[in-house]
Chains A and B, each alone.
Chain A
Amino acid sequence: MAAIFSKRNVVIGLIVLAALFPYVARNDYYLHVLTLAFIWMIAVYGLNLLAGFTGYLSLAHAGFFAIGAYALGLLTVKAEMGFWPAFLLAPVITTGIGFLVGIIALRTKEHFFAIYTLCVGYIIYLVIDKWEGLTGGVRGLIGIPAPADIGPISLSTPIAQYYFVLTILLLVILVIYRIIHSLTGKTFIAIRNSEDLALSLGISTIKNKLLSFVLSTFFAGVAGALYASFIRFIGPDIGNLNITFDLLVYMIVGGIGTLSGPIVGTLLIVWLSQNLQFLQDYRMLIFGPLLTLIVIFSPRGIVGFIAGWFTNWKLRRKVNINQAQEQAEEV
């Protein structure tokens, strides 16, 4: 029984499910919503790597998402670059800016870091909004091309784009999985746990925090570039603080510092939002308190809650088995 639900089988099952979804749903709208959710997940993974595994909550994440999106938009629309070179370059540009910001931002800690990045995010938003000559200001940027065909494979249909985004998401998850389950990830976790202890264990906290920050901006950049090529129109609003808060909700509800949290949180909140259409602009009436309640009652989100429950269940089972054995021996 338990073997059917082994980690490996669950993962394979989920991938199959995601791959079959377009044929089951047969609905372009759902496909659109899910593709967009995948893009958000990529950004949330970036945020989670930094906040969840390294312990630094960046509130500039939407800013870097916007930089990725605008980099792709500007390179293709204004510099008339081909899609693929632009798609590769956009995350690189985001990461470069992330590196510069990170060097300075990471001199600060805890609350100062959050406030600092909050201000950085606001500046990025303001620059996009006001620098009309470059970004088009509030009018935004239109005519961003969809992903160009790769040889015979066309990426212009909704289904093709769905698979394209899904593929990148799976790659991102694989990379994050490997980072978390390797020495690099253990180093990040050591820093989250206690910077002083990490330092005295010979870990360069400066270098590793910067690495985590830069990686998080890289994933934000990838997500932004995908978003621009998927929606094909971008405005300054994608760099707004509200987007950072959305990503934060996805991460916290799913489970900060967990590997599957970004998937669970994003899917759940996106699904709820679809079903609470009547709430629209007021959805934070529910999600705001949800955020606070989760932080108070289950700091590691839904995934953390279930994992804790599961561990207890296994422990109890073990105890029961032991008791049963003891009783059997007594008999």
Chain B
Amino acid sequence: MLETRKLTKQFGGLVAVKDVDFSLEHGKINAIIGPNGAGKSTFFNVVSGLYRPTSGQVIYKGKDISKLPANKVAELGIARTFQTTHLFEMATVFDNVVVGHRLRTQSNLLDSIFRTKRLKQEEEKCKEKALEVLKFVGLSKSVDRMVTNISQEEKKRVAFALALATDPEIVFLDEPTAGINPDETAELSQLMEKMAQQGITICLIEHKMQMIMKLAEKIMVLNYGEKIAEGTPDEINHNEEVIKAYLGGSASA
């Protein structure tokens, strides 16, 4: 349902992503791996609309969305998280997440000033949504805690909750387990599987190979911006080019 066709992104003379054809497995966990600087994050940024591609297309449900701004892409049901969670540290977990459902509301400035019925209903809707997704990610007890006081792993969960609050069909996760210990990584993996079970398509960037091999059903390998392999974990494990790239390049796995 989401695929890229010859997707290319150039910065000045530097080609960060080159002619990448990729399609996501619906309702499954997909992964993109590759050495540092392989263009993984750029690929994410292009697909989610933060960058305009230099050439090529992003097709979602048969429509070319490569020229849409990021907020329109999100409206279509494509959510994402960032490597750094970008949360507002001086507010509560709940206050951070409640804005996640904003894109499904209509209230404008006048609604806010006159506190109309529509605003109250929609605020209620946002609150319910926030509590629902916080419960889903297992943070029901931490709703009122300040973000600055919670652990790195909990922050990642908040970021997941924010993405889920947008009612997505696809969620892109940019290194969801960076800076987190192995136990917590396993817990976050479970959470991702739980999301996939809900019918949400997941695509993540990861460095932790072991985890990916267990978790993902489809993997794409990028190197110097180009796709060098694609397939099941088993196929990737035995791919000569992948092995070469990892042994020759900066093996960060």
Contacts and interface: CB of A to CB of B under 8 A. Distances in A.
Interface of A: 175, 178-179, 182-187, 189-190, 193-194, 196-197, 199-205, 211, 215
B80 A186 contact: no
Contacts of B103: 201-203
B86 A196 contact: yes
Interface of B: 48-50, 69-75, 79-80, 82, 86-88, 91, 95, 98-100, 102-103, 105, 107-109, 111-113, 115, 119, 122-123, 126, 162, 165-166
Q: Is the interface of B mostly helix, strand, loop or mixed?
A: helix
A194 B162 CA distance: 13
B58 to A, nearest CB: 14
Contacts of A190: 88, 99, 102
A202 B74 contact: yes
Most buried by B among A194, A196, A200, A203: A200
B112 A179 contact: yes
B123 A182 contact: yes
Most buried by B among A184, A202, A205: A202
Given A179-B112, A183-B126, A197-B82, A202 B50 contact: no
Given A182-B107, A193-B86, A193-B87, A187 B99 contact: yes
Contact of B82 (A175, A196, A205, A215): A196
Contacts, number: 95
B102 A194 contact: no
Most buried by A among B95, B98, B108, B113: B113
A179 B109 contact: yes
Contacts of A203: 71, 99, 102-103
Most buried by A among B48, B70, B75: B70
Nearest to B88: A193
A182 B114 CA distance: 11
A183 B71 contact: no
A182 B87 contact: no
A186 B99 contact: yes
B119 A183 contact: yes
